[in-house]
Amino acid sequence: MGWLGNTADKLKRIFGGASRFLYPDACVGCGELLLRHEEVFCMACERFYAEASERECARCFRPRSRCICSRKSLEDAKIPRLVKLFTYRARQVDLPQNQLIFALKHHHRSDVRTFIASELSEAIREGIPRYERFALAYAPRGDRSILLDGYDHIRELSREISKELGITCLDAIGRRRGGEIQKKLSFHDRQRNMLGRFYLNDGVDIKGKSVFLIDDVVTSGATLVEAARVLYEGGAKEVVGVVIAATGRDELRRPRRYSIKYRTMK
C-alpha cells in the first residue's frame, strides 16, 4: 500500500505540476516559450545556470564545471577525480539548473539530454587528459524508477556522451532487485542500502581499463562508491566520476542528533 501511495504521489508530481515543461519548446527552467536561438533555457534561466557552473571551487579555484575535485568518501573509494557541472542545492528545487536534472529524469526531452551530454563532454575534454583511452560505464537505476519514468536516463545519457566523445559505452554493471529509493534515506542508510547492490555483467572485460562512471547527482556518493567497487574488482585501472551535479557538504542530510546539536550551539 505504501508503495502504491508513493507512486500515485510521484505521478501527480510529475504529470500534474510540471506538464508545461513537457512541451519541447519550453524553457526547462521556467516553462516560458523559447526563442529560436535559445537551447533549453530562456535568457533569464540561462544566467542562473551559467552562474552556477562558473562559480569558483573553494579548493582549486576553477569554475565548477571545470573543477575535477572529488570528496573524501569518493577518494576513499579510489575515485580521486569527479567531473561535474554545478553544485546541486537540494533545498531549492525550483532553480533552473535543478530543473535540468528533473527534466532529464522524468520527461523524455531529448534536447535536454543532448544539452547535458554536450556540457559534460566538454568538461571531460577540458578536465581529463587523454580521455580518448577511457571507456564509459554507468550504474543502472532500480526497476521501480525505470518503471515509473519509462526509461533509464543515466543509460541514455551515457550513450549520448560516448557518442559525442567517440569512446565505448559498456553495459558493465548489473543491479540486483530490491532496496529502497536512495532519495528517501539518511546518509548512513544510503550506504547500507547500496551495499552489494551491483555486480559486473557476464562477459564484460574491464581489466586494465580506465573508466568514466556516469551518474546524475552525487549526494552521499553511495551509488558511485558501490559501482566503482565492482569496476575495481573486475580489474579496472582507474575510475573517474562524471556527474551532472554534486551536492555541497551542507546539503547532506545529517542524522537527527547532530541537527539538534547544531541548533543548540547557535
Give the pairing of strands 238-247 and 82-83. Answer: parallel
CB of 238 to Zn ion, least distance (A): 19
Any bridge partners for residue 241, and if so which? 82, 213
x/- map, 116-155, Zn ion, by CB under 5 A: ----------------------------------------
Q: Which residue, 47 or 192, has its beta carbon nearer to Zn ion?
A: 47
Alpha carbon distances (Å) from 126 to 84, 161, 197, 198, 229: 12, 14, 32, 30, 26
Q: Which residue, 47 or 176, has its beta carbon nearer to Zn ion?
A: 47
Residue 14 in grid coordinates: 510529475
Decide: 124 and 83 in contact? Cβ < 8 Å. yes
Site size for Zn ion (CB under 5 A): 10
CB of 119 to Zn ion, least distance (A): 17
Q: Which residue, 185 or 245, has its beta carbon nearer to Zn ion?
A: 245
Q: Which residue, 28 or 167, has its beta carbon nearer to Zn ion?
A: 28
CB of 70 to Zn ion, least distance (A): 9
Among 12, 20, 47, 59, binds Zn ion (CB under 5 A): 59
Q: Which residue, 35 or 60, has its beta carbon nearer to Zn ion?
A: 60
CB of 78 to Zn ion, least distance (A): 18
Residue 245 as a binder of Zn ion (CB under 5 A): the answer is: no
Among 14, 40, 52, 67, binds Zn ion (CB under 5 A): 67
Which H or E run includes 229? helix 222-233
Any bridge partners for residue 63, and if so which? 56
Residue 260 as a binder of Zn ion (CB under 5 A): the answer is: no
Alpha carbon distances (Å) from 81 to 74, 195, 245: 9, 22, 14
Q: Hey, how many other C-beta atoms are within 10 angstroms of the C-beta on 249?
A: 9
Decide: 194 and 182 in contact? Cβ < 8 Å. yes
x/- map, 14-53, Zn ion, by CB under 5 A: -------------x-xx-----------x--x--------
The Cα–Cα gap between 104 and 167 comes to: 22
Q: Which residue, 30 or 95, has its beta carbon nearer to Zn ion?
A: 30
Q: Distance from first CA to last CA of the chain, Å, rounded?
A: 41
Residue 230 as a binder of Zn ion (CB under 5 A): the answer is: no
Stretch that binds Zn ion, among 66-74, 100-108, 123-131, 199-207 (CB under 5 A): 66-74
CB of 191 to Zn ion, least distance (A): 24
Q: How far is CA 78 from the centre of its chain?
A: 18
Which H or E run includes 163? helix 153-165
Helices (H), 68-132: 72-76, 96-106, 110-127
CB of 138 to Zn ion, least distance (A): 23
Where do contacts with Zn ion occur on this chain (CB under 5 A)?
27, 29-30, 42, 45, 57, 59-60, 67, 69
